[in-house]
Structure 1
Amino acid sequence: MQVLATDDRGWRSGGGVSLPEVFRSIPVPDGASWWRKLGAFTGPGFLVAVGYMDPGNWATDLAGGSAFGYTLLSVILLSNIMAIILQALCVRLGIATGRDLASACRDAYSKPVAIMLWLLCEIAIVACDLAEVIGTAIGLNLLFGLPLVWGVVLTGADVLLILALQRHGFRRLEAFIIALIAVIALCFLYELIASQPAIGAMLAGFVPRGEVVTNPVMLYIAIGILGATVMPHNLYLHSAAVQTRAFERTPAGKRDAARWATIDSTVALSLALFINAAILILAASAFHTIGRNDVAEIQDAYKLLSPTLGAAAASTLFAVALLASGQNSTITGTLAGQIVMEGFVRIRLAPWLRRLITRGLAIVPAVIAAGLYGEGGTAKLLIASQVVLSLQLPFAIVPLIAFTSDKAKMGDLVSPAWLKALAWAVAAVIIVLNVKLLLDTAGRTGVGA
């Protein structure tokens, strides 16, 4: 990538603010207690955490748990650690430079490169939205018997909910997201209690095993879990969302803000770890232990949960959590789309128009798959959307690490040597495994054809 620096910090232009209507809109109290300060910075991390528990994660976690028991819990843990590191870099970038990742790319790279990165990111956002459309439609089908096609079409109306939330301020939007995450967590807490997992085997699952690499089928699912965990749009979203806080723009103020915002994202992603692990543990304890190693689709898990666990509410709460997960992810996807368009090319659309464009591009293939192929078609489309996301991931991770490693751009918040080394190692692992996922998927498609 060609870098065209025109000032002493390496930026090509004066920058710009994404989400200007909420920029620095949330006050940070001076001299407040630890809890009040944490409360002021709590929110952006939870917006990001939503992407780590979306329907794409559900599909891979269910497949891993039913096929291999608790073994792949170590992969979920490793993926979450990687996510915590990358989101901490987003916090540093947004607070130190006043730029989100999209506007940073625009201001650091040539216009053709910025346009290319923008188009790739738009494709990834549509692919991500496709997964949320399918997940929401499946949730509506399981809870209310609504046909998948009508469920997909109905998801287009969620723009009204987003507009209503945004009208009341960013804090209300964050509160709504956190409330839905709490619903998901409570549903899975019940599921875990009902499934009565083997505690010893479950804890052993968090210890990495060599067979994850040597068993080709297990490796394929493990790569899928990783590919579904680190979402590229989250990197753009987080670097903008942290700028909604009105912290002091002094070196000391930025360091303090970075510390609190990192705590926020780490706590939120730890909750995402619990939910992802809970899905896999549920599949392991409910299905793998009785020899049902083939439960890979969300609809199959729903049908089997209540009779398997002997708990009437198990299937219903599973569907409620899925619906909350899909709806949560659509909201954050809308924000990410707005940030990306404003940051890369400075095009600002009304939120409802931006939402309708993204959702319309996702609804069309989902309607076709649901209408022609039913449940099997939507399941395949869900997996395909994760592969598309894996293609875009390197184009977000590499610039992020490069920017946060640059002293001229970051000032006091430049990544220390140990963090640089760790971040590049994470990038290398994610890129290699996602490329392998893509190649394996292409190979399987070729065999199937």
Structure 2
Amino acid sequence: MAERMRDNDRQDPSLVAIPGQKASVLKRFLAFVGPGYMVAVGYMDPGNWATDLQGGAQFGYVLLFVILLSNLMAVLLQVLAARLGIATGYDLAQACRAWLPRWVNIPLWLACELAIIACDLAEVIGTAVALNLLFGFSLLVGTCISVIDAFLVLLLMRFGFRALEAFVIVLLAIIGVCFGIQLIASSPSIGAVFKGFLPSSQIVMNPEMLYIAIGIVGATVMPHNLYLHSSLVQSRAYKRNIKGRLEAIKWASWDSTIALTFALGINAAILIVSAAAFHGTEHQDVAEISDAWRLLSPVLGFGLASTLFAIALLAAGTNSTVTGTLAGQIIMEGFLHLRFPYWVRRIITRGLAIIPVIFFIMYYGQGKIGSLLVFSQIILSMQLPFAVIPLVIFVSSKKKMKNFVLSPFWVGVSWLVACLIVVLNAKLFIDMVV
């Protein structure tokens, strides 16, 4: 990651150049495009697939409202993360280290690492399942092969940030095309889809539905993405003065909002395809990605449906690998001032994620891997408050944000979102204990 610039005069050649003021608005905006799509990767990783597939198959279109609500919260939180990084020159991890006492920082760092391991666990499972579906590898073999992606990340890093962003955007486009075709083939009820985006009391009253709903929140609003975004937005060579930072905040906010709207479309498409194909049929108990893959083509009557599904899954797992590596490095460096080579950090994290997957497959077999995938998203959801609350505290502080502090209205909305996340997690924890 490029060194942070905190003065107006120095220009770091490793940063992405911004066209001059005479350039068109579109050209200046495009110079800021990239970090939002890097972050959007986390909002459509294999963990999302498990919760969306299960939610659509079991409960139809009802949980589309949860996907929409989660995405709105995600847009707000990612804009706040970008604002923090651009306004202060600190990413969220660095801000925690600078402004919070050590006895708070250590638990926050451990919570972040747990979140990254949970996310990586989902990537391992997604990649292994995709390799199994496309090439017939067993899940154990696919899990071991997933270690190789550390070298893919290392190779991409050598070509610079713009190349990395381009690679991610191309894979996102592949995912979008695959699910766009499946969405058309599934022919969902338009009226039922629109109704699904409306709030329903069923979500809170039904414990099973609430469990999946909170899994969707955890799969959508990724805690480590807040750390990642607050760092990535600083990779642009905007002027480090009030005017330059205001422009950077504006374009970074548009970048992430557009990218996350695309992620909303993908997540909604997964749930809609699952609901149209499986809900109300003998297959509505489908919870495993491999079962969904096996049934999609015969149920939809479209031969390529299953293949497109597997290709999109492999693209999602590969993309998440790139951003997971970056987030892990940013968090470790920010909290602890420790910096390992990317490939070392990646192998450590991936190793910690592979161990539970191998033991789970050996104990339960390949048929229950989807339940581990959903559980990983519940773990992610329960880590959210540890990232969201410090972020809201920082961006609400006039002392820290100076001219870029949030208005009272947005402070209130941000705290409302933080409280909603805490309440949902408390409800989930109580239900699990009971």
Give the TM-score normalised by structure 1: 0.92
Cα contact 2:287–2:370 (8 A) shared by 1:
no
CA distance in 1, matches of 2:340, 2:193: 48
Q: Aligned match of 1:310 in 294, 301, 317?
A: 301
Q: Aligned match of 2:131 in 125, 129, 140?
A: 140
2:92 matched residue in structure 1: 101
Deviations 1:317-368 (A, max 9, x none): 0011111111111110000000001100100111111111111111111122
1:441/1:329 Cα in 2 relative to 1: closer, same or farther (>3 Å)?
A: farther
Shift of 1:27: 0.7
2:395 matched residue in structure 1: 404
CA distance in 1, matches of 2:253, 2:203: 31
2:313 matched residue in structure 1: 322
Shift of 1:99: 0.3
Indicate yes or no: 2:371 matched with 1:380: yes
Cα contact 1:24–1:243 (8 A) shared by 2:
no
Cα contact 2:123–2:320 (8 A) shared by 1:
yes
2:188 matched residue in structure 1: 197
CA distance in 1, matches of 2:244, 2:260: 24
Shift of 1:25: 1.1
- 1:428 corresponds to which letter in structure 2? C
2:46 matched residue in structure 1: 55
> Which runs of 5 or more structure 1 residues have no equivalent in the other structure?
1-15, 444-449
Q: Aligned match of 2:103 in 109, 112, 127?
A: 112
CA distance in 2, matches of 1:39, 1:425: 32
Indicate yes or no: 2:122 matched with 1:131: yes
CA distance in 1, matches of 2:212, 2:383: 20
- 2:218 corresponds to which letter in structure 1? G
Further displaced range: 429-438 or 267-276: 429-438
- Secondary structure of the residue aligned to 1:27 is coil
- 2:54 corresponds to which letter in structure 1? A
- 2:74 corresponds to which letter in structure 1? A
Shift of 1:130: 0.7
- 2:403 corresponds to which letter in structure 1? D
Q: Aligned match of 2:244 in 242, 250, 253?
A: 253
Further displaced range: 303-312 or 364-373: 364-373
Shift of 1:413: 1.2
1:179 matched residue in structure 2: 170
Cα contact 2:86–2:245 (8 A) shared by 1:
yes
Cα contact 1:390–1:438 (8 A) shared by 2:
no
1:23/1:216 Cα in 2 relative to 1: closer, same or farther (>3 Å)?
A: farther
Deviations 1:207-235 (A, max 9, x none): 11222222333222222211221111000
1:87 matched residue in structure 2: 78
1:163 matched residue in structure 2: 154
- Secondary structure of the residue aligned to 2:365 is helix
1:71 matched residue in structure 2: 62
CA distance in 2, matches of 1:441, 1:387: 11
CA distance in 1, matches of 2:365, 2:386: 34
Cα contact 2:78–2:256 (8 A) shared by 1:
yes
CA distance in 1, matches of 2:160, 2:343: 16
1:9 matched residue in structure 2: none
1:353 matched residue in structure 2: 344
Indicate yes or no: 2:324 matched with 1:333: yes
Shift of 1:23: 8.6
Indicate yes or no: 2:415 matched with 1:424: yes
Shift of 1:306: 0.3
Cα contact 2:111–2:383 (8 A) shared by 1:
yes
- Secondary structure of the residue aligned to 1:290 is coil
- 2:260 corresponds to which letter in structure 1? L
Q: Aligned match of 1:27 in 13, 17, 22?
A: 17
Deviations 1:44-72 (A, max 9, x none): 01111111111111111111111121111
CA distance in 1, matches of 2:14, 2:430: 43
Give RMSD over aligned pairs: 1.5
Shift of 1:296: 1.5
Cα contact 2:288–2:369 (8 A) shared by 1:
no
> Which runs of 5 or more structure 2 residues have no equivalent in the other structure?
6-11
2:8 matched residue in structure 1: none
CA distance in 2, matches of 1:217, 1:390: 16
CA distance in 1, matches of 2:382, 2:66: 20
Further displaced range: 112-121 or 411-420: 112-121
- Secondary structure of the residue aligned to 2:265 is helix
Q: Aligned match of 1:150 in 141, 148, 154?
A: 141
CA distance in 1, matches of 2:147, 2:369: 17
Cα contact 1:17–1:23 (8 A) shared by 2:
no
Cα contact 1:148–1:374 (8 A) shared by 2:
no
- Secondary structure of the residue aligned to 1:248 is coil
Cα contact 2:215–2:381 (8 A) shared by 1:
no
Shift of 1:292: 2.9
Further displaced range: 324-333 or 374-383: 374-383
- Secondary structure of the residue aligned to 1:367 is helix
- 1:371 corresponds to which letter in structure 2? M
- 1:118 corresponds to which letter in structure 2? W
1:382/1:318 Cα in 2 relative to 1: closer, same or farther (>3 Å)?
A: same
CA distance in 2, matches of 1:66, 1:274: 18
2:380 matched residue in structure 1: 389
Cα contact 2:119–2:380 (8 A) shared by 1:
yes
CA distance in 1, matches of 2:383, 2:212: 20
Shift of 1:76: 0.6
CA distance in 1, matches of 2:351, 2:283: 37
Cα contact 1:68–1:288 (8 A) shared by 2:
yes
Shift of 1:435: 2.6
Cα contact 1:50–1:181 (8 A) shared by 2:
yes
- Secondary structure of the residue aligned to 1:26 is coil
Further displaced range: 262-271 or 70-79: 70-79
- 1:96 corresponds to which letter in structure 2? A
CA distance in 1, matches of 2:433, 2:363: 22
Shift of 1:160: 1.1
